[in-house]
Amino acid sequence: MYKHVLVPTDGSKLSDKAVAHALALAQAIGARVTALHVSPDYPQPIYMEGVVLNPVSRREYAKHAKVEATRLFDRTLKKAAAAGVACDTAHAIAETPWEAILGTARKSKCDVIVMASHGRRGLAALLLGSETVKVLTHSKVPVLVVR
């Protein structure tokens, strides 16, 4: 069936639920997992009255994003080790997380994506969008949505 599971994680409780599901699936079918964290793109500088506010440099931002990703991955790697599941990690900084998810799935040759969805509806879904819906719409591999 599946040999390589991609599970995007942002550290939320719902995302942790998707990680647990992905690890259980991988354990049951003998697959390996790649955990992915997508950090938001570098914030644009703020221009005010001829002054440019740029709180941190791109390099510093990337460093902080990597530290946060590593913190999230530590939890996932411990759970994977306890379940006896081989687990790799991937980190991306992207303006559009759904594209980073699909790009990582392609690059890592994942054959299924397991991800969480908040299940927003109505105006909230319209205004906030849904990375999960975008992945579902554009993915060439199966996507298992956990709620």
Q: How many whole angstroms separate alpha carbon 14 and alpha carbon 138?
A: 22
pLDDT exceeds cutoff 70 at 41: yes
Query: What is the three-class DSSP state of 79?
Result: helix
Is the confidence at residue 37, as pLDDT, over 50? yes
Per-residue pLDDT, averaged over 46-73, amounts to: 83
Write the pLDDT tens digit of every residue in 120-143. 665 555 544 589 989 999 999 999
Judge whether residue 4 has pLDDT over 80: yes
Contact 26, 5 (CB under 8 A): yes
Is the pTM higher than 0.95? The answer reads no
As a whole number of angstroms, the distance between CA 75 and CA 104 comes to: 20
Buried b (16+ CB within 10 A) or exposed e, 26-56: beeeebbbbbbbbbeebeeeeeeeeeeeeee
What is the reported pLDDT for 21? 98
The whole-number pLDDT of residue 127 equals 47
- Counting Cβ atoms within 10 Å, is residue 69 exposed (0-12), middle (13-18) or buried (19+)? buried
Q: What pLDDT is stored for residue 55 in this prediction?
A: 72
Which residue type sits at 115? Answer: M
Task: Name the region of 109 (left: φ>0; alpha: ψ -120 to 50; beta: rest).
Answer: left
